[in-house]
Structure 1
Amino acid sequence: MRALALVTLALLASACQGGEALGPDGGRDLGRVDLAHYDAGQACESVDDCDDGVPCTRDVCDERGICVHTPDPLACDDGSFCNGAEICDPSAGCVPGPLRDCNDRNVCTLDRCDEARGMCLHLPRDFDNDGEADARCVGGSDCDDADPLRGTLQAELCSDGVDNDCDGDIDESTCGRPRHDLCEDALDVSAGGVFQIATAGARDDYGATCSGPSREVVVRFTLEAVADVTLRADAAGTTQVELRAGCGGAATPLRCDTGVPGEVRRRSLPPGTYYAFVASSAGPVELTLSLDAPTSPPTNEDCATATTLQPPFALSGSFVGVADELELSCGQPLAGELVYAFEVPAGPPQDALIAFSATSTGDAVRFSLRSDCAASGSELGCVRGSPASARFRSLPPGPYALIVEGPSEREVDFALEVRLEPGTQPPVGDSCAAPIDTPLEQVVHGQLGDKSDQHTTSCGYFYRDAVHRFVLNEPRDVSVDLLAGENGATFVYGALSETCASRFEPPASVCVGGAPARLQRFNLPAGEHFLVVEAVGTPSYQLEIHTSPPTTVVQASANDTCAQAIEIPVASKVVYTGDTSTLGNDVTSIYCGSGATSPDAAFALTLTEPTTLRLSTAGSSFDTVLLVFLDGTACANYPYSCDDDSGSAGTSLIEREFPAGRYNVVVDGFGAHSSGPYVLTIERGPFAP
């Protein structure tokens, strides 16, 4: 064996020497080579030959004359921390990477990704947000992390059978009520000013006349002379303030308010001792008591006592002590009104520009312009906003009444300005008289700043609107995409009808809202159609009207309960339309849609094999909820699948594989007040990625 090895080495040496002396080393060959096949990469003369069309790769022509494409992940960075690091795929380009995983696998921390700070936060476990971490965790002291009224920061309350202060003892001898929990221990704030009041451990002893936080503390103040009084309660959450002329069950309530903040104001309060009951939904309260010189309420509270002014004029005022005497078409109950009269002088028609706003808060206010104050039918327009403003065009000479209304929640200060300008004609799109002719399959831009509120829609409100008109040459399905405001962030409404009138309401029209919004109608007939667009404020907007071949639609009715469910046939796609407002609330679920206690419609579906389904309520006119129950569960308890808002504009979408079996599909609404015309589309997969 050894001899064989030696022979082999000898032969190799002989082959290498070839019988001649070795020449000097030629060094590195830097010349170009002829690559018949690009196994190592594409041949190139310069970097211009190496563009692979993938933006995130760095393309170079190396010293061998071969293209090299190096992925550069930094080129894909979208600047967002929480969505993880993007990846440069050599073929597909920039693709999303895995989401940032902030889970530290520690049950004693609450983990979240903070985009603003670009970091993962791991906060102490404090589910009840009372400022104390769970006692089961290192450093924690809260013995009941589900109850914000239990913890070492709380006072021990007597006779409630609960260890309120987490010291291991129940109702110990040092127990009691927190300070200022009863009238007998009311905090004296007669001097006025700002007071920090703890509410921890307070009980609901006196029952406020307005809804809101109920565990109140009590303050009192004594007036030696008549004064205007303002009580304002600020806290981390909602606050409630009620003012009474005394304490106890027989005390007369004077005013109650719940809000952020809660505020009570009274003019010319007589001398005496008064009590205020203050509650908070979260933490201590900062209570401010302001005492000012007495004032009298305005006298122009009805048409007979209207204050007459001649434009231009600007004034300020207050709704404190103003009663609800008049009814506005866009008004709200229990909100006080004031009346102003002005006249357009003889001569050509003039525009009236009116601006009205709450100056002490950001609350919405309203006003109505009429040619006859006492005749609601003479209303020229009713405007709501924060602020509320409008231009009433080309008013003929004569008298006019302006009725302004504050919010019902609180009595606010306000500013009002009215001026006249030469009369103008309304812009195209302001009414049905001159709609905007709109092409199909094109992005169309518009703006609401020069429009007025001329139309009532079933899903919108008292906002400025614009009217568009489009024509179909044959029956088509129609979908309308709507965007408003910067980056589509403004809530926008759209109502579609075959006729144009002051009211766009079912069944003649369908209305949807969202940010953005999508309106969908099936099998619209040939002819003209009208679209009303309205939005909060005065934003610009864009819309695009798409059409497609008409879909056969099945009208659903009498499917009020799961026992009356409509059987869905075996087909690749089925579309139903119906109206839940004519049905009852038979199905609820605590797992989706805030209880889904609105009226609902039921369908039944049988699958003989595992099937991927896409269930959608796109095109519905309200905030829908989709529920899928296994047959035999009586459409109750835990649904097999449910969805609230995965679809566009508050609609619902479920796409998943369902095992073979029998199911009930229920179209419901969010909460207790969502119903109306709906669309249910059932499609069977597989679907393209």
Structure 2
Amino acid sequence: MTSAETKAPRPRLLRHLRWIPALLPVAALASACGPSTAPNPFTLDAGPDGATDPDGGTGGGTGGGNPDDGGTPDDTLGGPCNDDTQCDDAIACTVDACDTSIARCRHSPDDAACQDGVYCDGVERCAPKLGCLPGPPVACSDGDVCTIDTCVESTGACTHVLRDADGDGAPDGHCIAKGDCNDDDPKVSPALPEVCANGKDDDCDGAVDEGDCASPKHDTCSDPLVIDAPGAYTIDTTAAASNFAASCNVNNQPAARDVVAAIVLPAGPPLDVEITARTNGADVAIALLGQCGDPSTEITCGTSFFHPQGGRFAKIRGRGLGDPAKTTALPLYVFADADTPVILDVAFLPPEPVPTNETCGTAEPISFGVPFFSTLVDAATDVGISCAPLTGELLYSFELASPANVHVYASSVDGDGFPVISLRDADCALPEDEITCKGAPIVDVFRHALPAGTYHVAVAAGAPTIVSTTVVIEPPTEPLPDETCEGAPALTPNVTLDVDLLDRQDDVQLGCLPGAVDAAYTLSLPVASDVLLVQRISQGDTGAVTLALPACADPLDQLICDPGSQSPLRIGKRNVPAGDYRVVAESLLGQPAQVTAFVRKTTPPVVVPFADACADVLMIPATGGFFQGNTANATASFNAGCDQGGGPEGGARDQLLGLSLSDKKRVVLDMGGSGYTTLLDVRKGPDCPGVEVPKACAVGYGQNKSFLDLTLDPGVYFLQIDGLGQDSGPWFLDVRIVDP
């Protein structure tokens, strides 16, 4: 560039400089007004010392810093904000809000949002920026090599069982005095008799085949128990060996033993023989053959089922047996996995042919209002039933000349198993041809206004049984508005609704409780909310309560659900985004229920690090809230009326929260998601720790953690967070305070 070229712009620059004197008064005026104190939401706070970070920023980088402590890292702080809508960090387990005092987003971790409902894998935690992380699994080891330490999901507790490798009920002799002398053989134990002539010390007394040994009875084909008439007989597997083969047997094959009976049929017309074998709990199986010792002559074989009244049983039916000209003896093998008496109920019945209505194409027509009976002993499985029966099924059909309401009623005649009923369309055979199904002790399958046409009923059961079924039709009626998610009426938050589930259909297929009738309601959330659903069910019923997306069409729309028979059912979900949802109440027996949706604006969880004594009670706000702590770090200070007896003074480690009510309120306390066997006790002040409120102490086992639904008068109360016995650990407490 030439010198002339560098000088050319100077006159233009001088023209601009002429304005500087004119602007100086304006600048002075602005300076006199002082610097602006309004925070700039798009600039990170530099902190008290105004220092910049190594990257040239002014607020500790993306990791954030705590303005109150001079820049100490705070993982909950995010970027700048003016309101909550700018603070979504895409981490599902954090509660995102704009902290307007510093114009920064705050992402508060909520461990409760991470709980998977599984006790034994520990308490999950929420980490800012990372999301849900697994917690440490429940530690059950007691340090004793002679115990098998197991976390039991159903009870939410650890068990410490003496080592018993062969499962015969006798602990290893290396671990206890007079224990099992051969823990590899389930047929050797100090609890078993000495068996003669087998060369083993069966009873672990140090002697073999001593004089008081037992010889098994009915253990061979030459020594059967003779059964020559209908009735009840007892046969015992004590000291028996495993001699016989059949197409079915007990599950624990190494422990199997068997005995034999002879079913003697008189000469004459053929008979059906139905045999039921029952035990107090041992696994059992039975097989009927044509020739003892020859498995190729097997007629039928049946394994065991759990009986509704306790114990186990196996049932078989041999059809058209006997010889017109001579007496017939048929061997019956009885298998068990323990030395046990087995009750044999034997019936000689008029012959019935094998049912021909095994398929949709051979379905038997039925008449309305007339009971029909299905013997489900040897039925095959031919169609797909979503209620998962344990037997095969028999098929029936009916015709509707015009639209009608249809009830299908069913019950077990002998009480050996609950019926399972599947109502199906004309095509019938495929799983998608099922209209609805239900399995229960007493079944009522109901459909509104079925169109004219052909329908099928598949009858199955949870165990071999005889089912009585009746199909009844009525004039057609239209479903109520709450029977579908599409027309679901509004559910008022924090108000209990009575739900009549009589004559309802199973319309909502969310997979929580298949076969149950249901009612659906719309829950509208204007802002992100913490939702707690509580459903009270009738005594003897099984129900479910579900929070779902509005489509409510299949299990993918289910957000969370709780099925069960222990009332009340309850489920909680925190930080549910604003919008419309569906609350679905279900009942297996169509009984009345009550549903409440407790709703409050999402609030971050309050961590309770201390609250270990009356001097440092943490007070609960009048609006309630969500709290979490860990009693493992506390001391055992207070007793509780519902604790187990015999423990030390103060019971388990505990923490204490306070609540002051100026008016009468309904107070709901839910410890769902806590990581141990909880105990929650409510006391009334004014002096701490107060006096226990009657019927306000609750123990929570397994998944059913402590829950209380109380109506409390004005006053000061103390909430004792405790554990049963000596149990302690991480806990959650959802506190809802609403008008009664």
For 1:149 and 1:355, locate their aligned partners in 2 and report how far apart those are by CA, in whole Å.
Answer: 50
1:276 equivalent in structure 2: 332
For 1:460 and 1:624, locate their aligned partners in 2 and report how far apart those are by CA, in whole Å.
Answer: 26
- Selected match of 2:461 from 407, 426, 435: 407
AA aligned opposite 1:509 = L
Per-residue deviation at 1:290? 1.4
Specify whether residues 312 and 174 from structure 1 end up closer, same or farther in structure 2 by C-alpha distance, changes over 3 A only: closer
Contact 2:546 2:560 in 1 (8 A): yes
For 2:676 and 2:322, locate their aligned partners in 1 and report how far apart those are by CA, in whole Å.
Answer: 54
2:554 equivalent in structure 1: 503
For 2:676 and 2:427, locate their aligned partners in 1 and report how far apart those are by CA, in whole Å.
Answer: 45
Contact 1:458 1:511 in 2 (8 A): no
Per-residue deviation at 1:299? 2.0
2:442 equivalent in structure 1: 387
Structure 2 residue matching 1:231: 3-state secondary structure: strand
For 2:249 and 2:656, locate their aligned partners in 1 and report how far apart those are by CA, in whole Å.
Answer: 48
Structure 1 residue matching 2:445: 3-state secondary structure: strand
Paired residues for 1:242-281 under 5 Å = 242-245=286-289, 246-248=291-293, 250-253=295-298, 254-259=300-305, 260-269=312-321, 271=323, 273-279=329-335
Q: What stretches of structure 1 of length at least 5 have no aligned partner? A: 1-129, 131-141, 554-571, 576-609, 627-641, 657-664, 666-679, 684-689
2:579 equivalent in structure 1: 527
Q: Which digits, 9 at most, give the CA deviation of each residue in 1:391-413, with x for residues without a partner?
A: 221122x3222232223642x22
AA aligned opposite 1:178 = P
For 2:302 and 2:459, locate their aligned partners in 1 and report how far apart those are by CA, in whole Å.
Answer: 19
Specify whether residues 193 and 362 from structure 1 end up closer, same or farther in structure 2 by C-alpha distance, changes over 3 A only: closer
For 1:370 and 1:399, locate their aligned partners in 2 and report how far apart those are by CA, in whole Å.
Answer: 11
Per-residue deviation at 1:431? 1.8
Per-residue deviation at 1:573? 6.6
Contact 2:407 2:444 in 1 (8 A): yes
Task: Tell me whether 1:237 sits opposite 2:281 in the alignment.
Answer: yes
Q: Which digits, 9 at most, give the CA deviation of each residue in 1:182-240, with x for residues without a partner?
A: 33322121334322223322334336624357333221224445320111223333452
1:193 equivalent in structure 2: 231
For 2:416 and 2:499, locate their aligned partners in 1 and report how far apart those are by CA, in whole Å.
Answer: 27
1:418 equivalent in structure 2: 471
2:201 equivalent in structure 1: 162
Contact 1:235 1:282 in 2 (8 A): no
Specify whether residues 252 and 456 from structure 1 end up closer, same or farther in structure 2 by C-alpha distance, changes over 3 A only: farther
Q: Which digits, 9 at most, give the CA deviation of each residue in 1:21-43, with x for residues without a partner?
A: xxxxxxxxxxxxxxxxxxxxxxx
Paired residues for 1:295-444 under 5 Å = 295-332=352-389, 335-346=391-402, 349-374=403-428, 376=430, 377-396=432-451, 398-407=452-461, 409-410=463-464, 412-444=465-497
AA aligned opposite 2:392 = G
Specify whether residues 648 and 453 from structure 1 end up closer, same or farther in structure 2 by C-alpha distance, changes over 3 A only: farther
Q: Which digits, 9 at most, give the CA deviation of each residue in 1:488-545, with x for residues without a partner?
A: x644322112324232446x51122341322011111222211112233222222222
Contact 2:250 2:285 in 1 (8 A): no
For 1:682 and 1:353, locate their aligned partners in 2 and report how far apart those are by CA, in whole Å.
Answer: 45
Task: Tell me whether 1:215 sits opposite 2:257 in the alignment.
Answer: yes
Per-residue deviation at 1:158? 3.8
AA aligned opposite 2:229 = A
Contact 1:467 1:530 in 2 (8 A): yes
2:590 equivalent in structure 1: 538
Contact 2:193 2:214 in 1 (8 A): no
Q: Which digits, 9 at most, give the CA deviation of each residue in 1:146-194, with x for residues without a partner?
A: 999867994544436325396x743225645311123332212133432
Task: Tell me whether 1:228 sits opposite 2:284 in the alignment.
Answer: no
2:504 equivalent in structure 1: 451
Give the RMSD, CA atoms, in angstroms: 4.2
TM-score by length of 2: 0.52
Specify whether residues 401 and 238 from structure 1 end up closer, same or farther in structure 2 by C-alpha distance, changes over 3 A only: farther
Specify whether residues 428 and 205 from structure 1 end up closer, same or farther in structure 2 by C-alpha distance, changes over 3 A only: farther
- Give % identity: 22
Contact 2:278 2:284 in 1 (8 A): no
For 2:365 and 2:604, locate their aligned partners in 1 and report how far apart those are by CA, in whole Å.
Answer: 61
Q: Which digits, 9 at most, give the CA deviation of each residue in 1:452-478, with x for residues without a partner?
A: 212233442322222122212211111
Structure 1 residue matching 2:395: 3-state secondary structure: strand
Structure 2 residue matching 1:465: 3-state secondary structure: strand
Contact 2:271 2:349 in 1 (8 A): yes
Q: Which has the higher contact order (CA 8 A, sep 6+)?
A: 2
2:609 equivalent in structure 1: none
Contact 1:215 1:279 in 2 (8 A): yes
For 1:491 and 1:310, locate their aligned partners in 2 and report how far apart those are by CA, in whole Å.
Answer: 31
Structure 1 residue matching 2:482: 3-state secondary structure: coil
Specify whether residues 497 and 262 from structure 1 end up closer, same or farther in structure 2 by C-alpha distance, changes over 3 A only: same
Structure 2 residue matching 1:325: 3-state secondary structure: coil
Q: Which digits, 9 at most, give the CA deviation of each residue in 1:56-79, with x for residues without a partner?
A: xxxxxxxxxxxxxxxxxxxxxxxx
For 1:404 and 1:498, locate their aligned partners in 2 and report how far apart those are by CA, in whole Å.
Answer: 32
Specify whether residues 388 and 373 from structure 1 end up closer, same or farther in structure 2 by C-alpha distance, changes over 3 A only: farther
Report how many aligned residue pairs link the two structures.
443
Specify whether residues 612 and 399 from structure 1 end up closer, same or farther in structure 2 by C-alpha distance, changes over 3 A only: same
2:532 equivalent in structure 1: 479
Contact 1:364 1:384 in 2 (8 A): yes
Structure 2 residue matching 1:261: 3-state secondary structure: strand
AA aligned opposite 1:341 = S
Per-residue deviation at 1:297? 2.3
Task: Tell me whether 1:463 sits opposite 2:505 in the alignment.
Answer: no
Specify whether residues 248 and 324 from structure 1 end up closer, same or farther in structure 2 by C-alpha distance, changes over 3 A only: same
Structure 2 residue matching 1:437: 3-state secondary structure: coil
2:544 equivalent in structure 1: 493
For 1:351 and 1:643, locate their aligned partners in 2 and report how far apart those are by CA, in whole Å.
Answer: 43
Specify whether residues 298 and 494 from structure 1 end up closer, same or farther in structure 2 by C-alpha distance, changes over 3 A only: same
Contact 2:405 2:474 in 1 (8 A): yes
Specify whether residues 643 and 221 from structure 1 end up closer, same or farther in structure 2 by C-alpha distance, changes over 3 A only: closer
Bigger shift: residues 148-157 or 205-214: 148-157
AA aligned opposite 2:399 = E
Structure 2 residue matching 1:429: 3-state secondary structure: helix
Contact 2:316 2:378 in 1 (8 A): no
Q: Which digits, 9 at most, give the CA deviation of each residue in 1:640-671, with x for residues without a partner?
A: xx98446259xxx9968xxxxxxxx9xxxxxx
Contact 1:371 1:378 in 2 (8 A): yes
AA aligned opposite 1:370 = R
Structure 2 residue matching 1:304: 3-state secondary structure: helix
Specify whether residues 238 and 156 from structure 1 end up closer, same or farther in structure 2 by C-alpha distance, changes over 3 A only: closer
1:58 equivalent in structure 2: none
For 1:282 and 1:393, locate their aligned partners in 2 and report how far apart those are by CA, in whole Å.
Answer: 53
Structure 1 residue matching 2:371: 3-state secondary structure: strand
Per-residue deviation at 1:414? 2.1
